[in-house]
Amino acid sequence: MKNYSIIAAMAIAAGALAACADTDIDVYQVEKPQSVADYEYLDNYAELKSYIDRGAHPNFLFGSGVLASDYNKKGLVYLLTNNNFDIITAGNAMKYASVVADDGTMNFNTVTEFVDNAVNAGLQVYGHTFCWHEQQNPKWLNKLIKDRELEVDPDASNEVEDARQTYAGMSKFPFHVMGYEPQIIDGILTVPEYPGAWYQFFVMDGLQFVEGREYIVTARIRGSKAGSVNVQLGNWGKIQEAKLEFTEEWSEVSVKMAPIEVANGFSVFQPGTYDGKLEIEWVKVSHNEAQALEVETEVNHKTYTDGPFPFYAMGCEPPVIDGCIHFVPTGAWSQFFILPGGENTLGEGNYVLYLDITSSKDAASGIQLTMQNGWGEGSQQLNANVPLSQGQNTVRIKFNEVAGGSYDVILKPQTSDATLDVRSVTICKLESLNSIPLTPEEKAEILEAEMARWIQGMMAATQGRVKAWDVVNEAISGGPWGQRYDLQHAVNDPDAAKKFYWQDYLGDNFVRIPVKYARQYFEENGGNPADLKLFINDYNLESDWDDNQKLKSLIQWIEQWESDGVTKIDGIGTQMHISYYMNPATQKSKAEHIEKMFRLMAETGKLVRITELDMGLVDENGQDIPTENVTLEQHKLMSDYYKEIIRKYFEIIPVEQQFGITMWCQTDSPEGSGWRPNQPTGIWDLNFNRKPAYAGIAEGLAGKE
């Protein structure tokens, strides 16, 4: 499969080169390799969409899934897609998690570019998807419905200290220098004299915040004359600012900051043009809480057994001596595990970590502790400073808004010259009695408003140009057997912490709500209401093991959703991530139930769309056959199966219900892919050479037997 047409543009280029050949050069006959000859017949096929009889199937749209980033490059994928398809579906770009950030802000730039490029090329775009439990942003959504903190009465509240920074025991400024570096003199952060220009400096770093909480910054400070500093709290994503005034006498002065909008950060003091001497003994961050209890529940306690370093070594392997991990500084930057994630699974919430540690000297800064959940995309890293005094210390560190997962705990002496002995780590779940859960009604109201905001944003970005949508995706579970299947719910999903099940809060209205807002905002943003088509999309609707029970259940659910007399579902989308089975009995059953699926869908009177059609290959023993092992004969069996599926769609689905078929994978899935890795799912191979599947699809679209 090495030497046949890719797309027409390349064939034209090859022809142009041939036209420039020297006619005096002798022509040599070279026998074609059989591997080339076997696939040469594919050169005779035209673009796929050209095979559709538009008179017989006037509303049918032939589609493709495509990554928006690939299409927007306007390269080979763009040309191939435009030449062969009528309508395209973005793989991920139009899903909630691709648009909505952790702070709730929405970015539709990729969506707008994708729709612009498709429409300008004469293609339609299919929207995928408004409501789903996968690829959401659970951090933002769970924040919307978290427990409500009780209002604090300043006259009947407790001040809770979150962090304190002292400079005792330091000889050098411990933070990043932003143009001006204060001195540390006798444990006091000191600006001996005005540096002659506007200046600023860090006073704290590695802070953890509860977003939405009001914090107080307090400093023990004095100047050579009265003045003020501008206090910044937060991080470079969002900073809160306020003025802190001081006098010539040592005093503790405070300023309340506006509610923090980030989860971690620092504090910076900006004396600006204050032209006197400035001294700071310590700085702390705190907040007020109503007088109530916080309950700590121990969830993990780790001690050590004498011997070599017990965990994976990250360049540093301190031994365990007398029951303590014994770290002796070497002068190099150092870090080491004190609790591996495999032994430390935490749920979502706030935690307190107690570190029983002995230090050979005061080390008020420079030592850090990290809790790390995962090491790739989607990981969470929480950092905190570990202030130590000479001798034994029990350091209490609070970590707010832990997302949940398996957390490595890593101590980072960095370049500190203190000898450390870590005796134990204890982690406690922190439950505050200063908050009350929202009622189910309050949560439903908040989430309906968020669904409306999300759909309004998407409809504004697409301006009525995207006329068909998966309004809800994968709503139906796989049981209970023998009756109508339930909706999917988080309680049945061991990986639910990474997802968000709207139906757990909105009930079966979770379908009615996006349908309502899709119709409202489509029209408000220039769309013709008669053009909008909303689909319920799901997988395994062709299942033979339950005789299409999932589809039968979905049809019953649609009847229930529409029973209010307002909600209207225009169509049913079927994800057909199927395989060709080399076991004849299995293959026969699979094909029969695809036909049954089409008949059941046709009987609903609704539009019918194959939303995601791709195909793998399974041997007689039920094992997937990797792409490199597929024979020409097997490729042709898959090709014939594609042709039969398309033929049956045209035969069974009435013309007025034929919305279309979308091929989900343009090319085979590469090894290591997150979707059907190393399987022959494509119409083209990974080099964009046509496969026998191309012929089967073309002949199916043409209605050939």
What is the rounded CA–CA span in Å between residue 390 and residue 582?
Answer: 72
* Least confident range of 72-86, 326-340, 358-372, 638-652: 358-372
Please answer whether residues 44 and 694 qualify as being in contact, where contact means their C-beta atoms are separated by less than 8 angstroms.
no
Mention every residue, 6+ apart, whose C-beta is less than 8 A from residue 369.
Answer: 353, 355, 383, 384, 385, 386, 397, 409, 410, 411, 412
DSSP, collapsed to helix, strand or coil, labels residue 447 as helix
Mean pLDDT (whole number) for 546-567: 97
User: Residues 625, 618: contact at Cβ < 8 Å?
Assistant: yes
- HEC string of 588-611 equals HHHHHHHHHHHHHHHHCCCEEEEE
In angstroms, the CA 618 to CA 650 distance is 26
Q: Are 671 and 678 in contact (CB under 8 A)?
A: yes
CA-based end-to-end distance of the chain:
26
Q: 662-672, pLDDT tens digit by residue?
A: 999 999 999 99
- Token pair for residue 495? 């990986």
pLDDT value at 15 more than 60? no
| Both structure tokens of 146 | 């978290």
pLDDT category at 431 given cuts 50, 70, 90 is confident
Name the percent of the chain lying above pLDDT 90: 82
Q: What is the mean pLDDT of residues 310-318?
A: 94
Separation CA 702–CA 692 (nearest Å): 16
Phi-psi region of 528 (alpha: psi -120 to 50; beta: other; left: phi over 0): beta
Whole-angstrom distance, CA of residue 283 vs CA of residue 265: 15
Digit-coded pLDDT (tens) for 538-553 = 999 999 999 999 999 9
Q: Do 68 and 104 touch, CB atoms closer than 8 A?
A: no
Q: Which residue has the tokens 């005789």?
A: 547
Contact 49, 63 (CB under 8 A): no
Distance between CA atoms of residues 130 and 521, nearest Å: 13
Question: Are 341 and 407 in contact, with CB atoms under 8 Å apart?
Answer: yes
Q: Among the listed ranges 378-387, 408-417, 577-586, which one has the minimum average pLDDT value?
A: 378-387
**3-state SS of 203-249?**
EEEEEECCCCCCCEEEEEEEECCCEEEEEEEEECCEEEEEEEEECCC
What type of residue is 231? V
Sequence-separated (6 or more) residues with CB below 8 Å from residue 304: 310, 320, 323, 324, 325, 422, 423, 424
Instruction: Give residue 697's pLDDT.
Output: 98
- DSSP E strands in 540-606: the ranges are 571-581
Quick: pLDDT tens for 373-395. Answer: 987 766 788 999 999 999 999 99
Around 45, how many Cα atoms within 13 Å sit in the side-chain half-sphere?
A: 29
Q: Residues 48, 8: contact at Cβ < 8 Å?
A: no
Q: Inform me whether the pLDDT recorded for 28 exceeds 70.
A: no
Q: Which of 705, 611, 622 is nearest to 661 (CA)?
A: 611
Please tell me the predicted confidence (pLDDT) of residue 367: 92
Average pLDDT over residues 633-646: 98
- Per-residue model confidence as pLDDT tens digits over 220-253: 999 999 999 999 999 998 999 999 999 999 999 9
* Among candidate residues 150, 138, 223, the one with its CA nearest the CA of residue 189: 223
Predicted confidence at residue 31, as pLDDT, reads 58
Contact (CB, 8 A) for 351 and 427: yes
Q: Is the confidence at residue 151, as pLDDT, over 70?
A: no
Query: Which DSSP string corresponds to 101-133?
Result: -TTS-B--HHHHHHHHHHHHTT-EEEEEEEE-S
Mean pLDDT for the stretch of residues 290-308: 86
pLDDT-based confidence at residue 573 (cuts at 50, 70, 90): very high
Provide the 8-state DSSP code for 476.
Answer: B
pLDDT tens profile 471-504: 999 999 988 888 999 999 999 898 898 999 999 9
For residue 19, what pLDDT band results from cuts at 50, 70 and 90? very low
Q: Band of the pLDDT at 27, cuts 50, 70, 90? A: very low
- pLDDT score for 640: 98
Q: Give the other-Cβ count within 10 Å of 537's Cβ.
A: 24
| Weakest mean pLDDT among 162-176, 349-363, 374-388, 585-599 | 374-388
Share of the chain above pLDDT 70, in %: 93
d(Cα 595, Cα 294) in Å, to the nearest integer?
60
pLDDT number for residue 30: 47
Euclidean distance between CA atoms 616 and 632, whole angstroms: 14
User: Which tens digits make up the pLDDT trace of 75-132?
Assistant: 999 999 999 999 999 999 999 999 999 999 999 999 999 999 999 999 999 999 999 9
- Rounded to 5°, angle at Cα 551 from 546 and 554: 130
DSSP 307-361: BS--S--SS--PPEETTEEEE---SS-EEEEEE-GGG-EE-SEEEEEEEEEEESS
Residue 200 pLDDT greater than 50, yes or no: yes
Helix (H) and strand (E) counts in the chain: 14, 31
pLDDT at res. 224: 97
More confident residue, 150 or 21: 150
pLDDT at 8: 40
Give me the phi and psi of 237, to 5 degrees please: -75, -35
pLDDT at residue 21 above 70? no
Residue 705: pLDDT over 90: no
Q: What is the pTM of this model?
A: 0.67
Rounded to the nearest integer, the mean pLDDT of the chain is 92
Element (H, E) at 398: strand 391-402
User: pLDDT grade, residue 35 (50/70/90)?
Assistant: low
Rounded Cα–Cα distance for residues 647 and 704 (Å)? 8
589-633 pLDDT per residue, tens: 999 999 999 999 999 999 999 999 999 999 999 999 999 999 999
